Structure 1
Amino acid sequence: MTKQVVTGEELKQTALGQELSDEQCRLLASVCTRREVSNGEILFEEGQISDTLFIVIQGRFAVSRDTGRGFSDTLHLLETGQLAGESGFLDGTPHSATLRAVGDARVVMLDRAHLESLLVDHPILVYKVMRAIVHSVREIIRRMNRQHSELLSYINPSIGRF
C-alpha cells in the first residue's frame, strides 16, 4: 500500500470534483492522499469503522456482503469517479459492505478531520463536498429501489412488467 500526493486534476474527473471549481479541487487535493490498490486487495471490510471517504480515480471495486453461508454476494461494481465509504465518513457507522479491487486500481482518500480543517476558511468547499456525498448516496438509493422493483416483478410477474 503506497500513499501519495493528490492533484486537483485527479479530483476534477470524479463525482466529487464535478461539484468543485479548479481552485477548490486543488485545495481539497492538498488534504487528500492517493493510494494504489492491487488486484484482489481489499480496500475496506464490512463491519469496519472508518472516517475516510474513498474516491475511485482509476479501476473498479466489487462491492460485496457476507451472506452468512460461507461466501459473499457481489452487489455492485464501483467504477472510476464514484465514491465509497460515505456513511462512515459522515457519521462513523461501520461499512455495510466489503470493497475488493477488480484489477489494479487507484483511490483518493479524504479523512473527515482533514475536511473539517477546511470548514472555517472554506465553508463553501465543505458544503459542496457534502452535497456531492448526498448526491452519491441518493444514486445508491435509486439503484437499490430499481433493483428491488425488478426483483419483485421477477418474483411475481402479475405485478410487474417483466
Structure 2
Amino acid sequence: MSIEHDFVSLRSSSLSASLNDEQVEALARISHCRRLADREIIIQEGNVDNSLHVITEGAIAVTRDLGKGEYTTIHVLHTGDLAGEMGFISGQPHTATLRSLGRTQVCSFEREAFESLLMDHPWLVYRVMQTIVQVSQDILRRMNAQHVELTKYVSRSHALY
C-alpha cells in the first residue's frame, strides 16, 4: 500500500480526529497499513509488542488463552478503534491476543518510529498520546459498567460461584 493510501486510511480514523493534514502525513510516513487474513494474530498474549494498531476496516477479537489451544473472546474492537495501545506505551507483555475477524485492515506504527516525531512534531505526539489516554479511559468505563451489571446480576440471582 502507498503513503497516499495510508494517509486516507489514517485520516478517517479516530486517532487523527484532532490532527491536521500535515500531522496525519507525518504519521502515514511511519505507518504500515495492511490487510489481515481471517483469524490472523497481530498481538500474542504474553509477548511484548511496541506497535500501535489503528483498525481502519473490519474487526479484531480480543481473546484470552484457555489452554489446550482454546481461547475465549472477551471483547471485539471495530473500525476506528485502537489496538495494542497499552503495550505501545508501557512496553510490558500483552494480557490478551488480538485476532482479526474476517476482512480487516490495520495501520500500524512502532513506538521507536513514533518517538522520532517528537522533535519535529511535538503537538502530533501530544495529541496521539491524549487520544490513547481517552481510549483507555473509555475502556475502563465500559469495564466498570460491566462489573456493576454483573455484580447486580449475581446479587439478584443469588448465584454462587
In the superposition, the TM-score normalised over structure 1's length comes to 0.90
Distance between the aligned counterparts of 1:67 and 1:156, measured in 2? Answer: 27
> How much has 1:70 moved relative to structure 2?
5.8
Task: Judge conservation of contact 1:34–1:107 (CA < 8 Å) in 2.
Answer: yes
Aligned counterpart, 1:7: 6
> How much has 1:43 moved relative to structure 2?
1.3
Task: Judge conservation of contact 2:53–2:83 (CA < 8 Å) in 1.
Answer: yes
> How much has 1:71 moved relative to structure 2?
2.7
Q: Give ranges in structure 2 of 5+ residues lacking alignment.
A: none
> What is the percent sequence identity of the aligned residues?
43
Task: Judge conservation of contact 1:9–1:25 (CA < 8 Å) in 2.
Answer: no
Distance between the aligned counterparts of 2:2 and 2:139, measured in 1? Answer: 29
Aligned counterpart, 2:141: 142
State the number of aligned residues: 157
Alpha-carbon RMSD across the aligned residues, in angstroms, is 1.8
Task: Judge conservation of contact 2:31–2:108 (CA < 8 Å) in 1.
Answer: yes
SS in 2 for 1:124: helix
Aligned counterpart, 1:52: 51
Task: Judge conservation of contact 1:83–1:136 (CA < 8 Å) in 2.
Answer: yes
Distance between the aligned counterparts of 1:103 and 1:38, measured in 2? Answer: 7
In the superposition, the TM-score normalised over structure 2's length comes to 0.90
Alignment of 1:32-47 (within 5 A): 32-47=31-46
Task: Judge conservation of contact 2:6–2:28 (CA < 8 Å) in 1.
Answer: yes
User: After TM superposition, what 4+ stretches of structure 1 lie above 3 angstroms from structure 2?
Assistant: 3-6, 67-70
Q: What amino acid is the match of 2:14?
A: A
Distance between the aligned counterparts of 1:4 and 1:48, measured in 2? Answer: 29
Task: Judge conservation of contact 1:56–1:79 (CA < 8 Å) in 2.
Answer: yes
> How much has 1:121 moved relative to structure 2?
1.1
Task: Judge conservation of contact 1:53–1:83 (CA < 8 Å) in 2.
Answer: yes
Distance between the aligned counterparts of 1:18 and 1:4, measured in 2? Answer: 21
Q: Give ranges in structure 1 of 5+ residues lacking alignment.
A: none
